[in-house]
Structure 1
Amino acid sequence: MNLQIFGTKKCKDSKKAQLFFQERRIPFQFINLQEKEMSKGELRSILGSVKLDDLIDTESKVYEDKNLKYMLYDKEEALLTNPLLFKTPIVRDGKRATIGFVPEIWKQWINDSKK
């Protein structure tokens, strides 16, 4: 497994995702979206597993501040330039990715990696 967890230090679900993998002694790389933006390649890889619309946190302060509810905008570009617009955590293992805290899917990934 080659796990990456995209999130923020303040996000409770990001913390729970980190704890989930730490408890199982599965190494991961944590990318704090407050400090580092996601690359276009990383985003494209994630979009192979999830829908672009599902990545946008419509409850976020960034979404409100930029008044995106009422605007037409390039969603991919908005996410790349405003990393705090992402729903978190985004957990990525190669071409597979999830949004939010979904341990049932991660357990399946772990089982698949043992085969």
Structure 2
Amino acid sequence: MEVQIFGIKKSQDARKAERFFKERKVKIHHVDLEVRPIAKGELARFVQKAGGLLNLIDKGSKTYQKKGLEFMKLSEDRWLELVQDHPDLLILPLVRFGQKVTIGHDEATWKSWME
């Protein structure tokens, strides 16, 4: 079993996900989104799961607040650009196991993958 975790180093939930899988001896491929932005095709899997890109946006993030994004009406392309430049705008971690994905901290689903 191998999972792919997309996150950033300062994300507590991404670190919790890593710890969860390490404790269960699951092989982890960690992608630091501050070093390597998520590919558009990969992001599309999570967008589909979330029911749209806006549902992946962490409206409580400091970047969201600092940039005043709650007051802006942006196109999907502009949101994609912002997410590439500021991965902390995403609800993290994004975890992929084969074709299955989760958004945010979701231990219940991760446990079900191991059954």
TM-score bracket relative to the smaller structure: 0.7 to 0.9
- Give TM-score, length-normalised by structure 2: 0.84
Contact 2:8 2:34 in 1 (8 A): yes
Q: CA deviation at 1:2?
A: 4.0
* Corresponding residue of 2:88: 84
* Corresponding residue of 2:31: 31
| In structure 2, distance between residues paired with 1:4 and 1:46 | 13
| In structure 2, distance between residues paired with 1:9 and 1:76 | 21
- Is 1:70 equivalent to 2:57 in the alignment? no
After superposition, give the CA deviation of every residue in 1:21-48 in whole Å (9 maximum; x if it has no partner): 1111111111112222111011012223
Amino acid aligned to 2:45: S
Contact 1:50 1:97 in 2 (8 A): no
- SS of equivalent residue, structure 2 residue 114: helix
Q: How many residues align?
A: 111
- Give TM-score, length-normalised by structure 1: 0.84
- SS of equivalent residue, structure 2 residue 20: helix
| In structure 2, distance between residues paired with 1:95 and 1:53 | 21
Amino acid aligned to 2:46: I
Which runs of no fewer than 5 residues in structure 1 stay unpaired?
A: none
Instruction: Among all aligned residue pairs of Structure 1 and Structure 2, give the percentage whose two residues are the same amino acid.
Output: 38
Contact 1:14 1:88 in 2 (8 A): yes
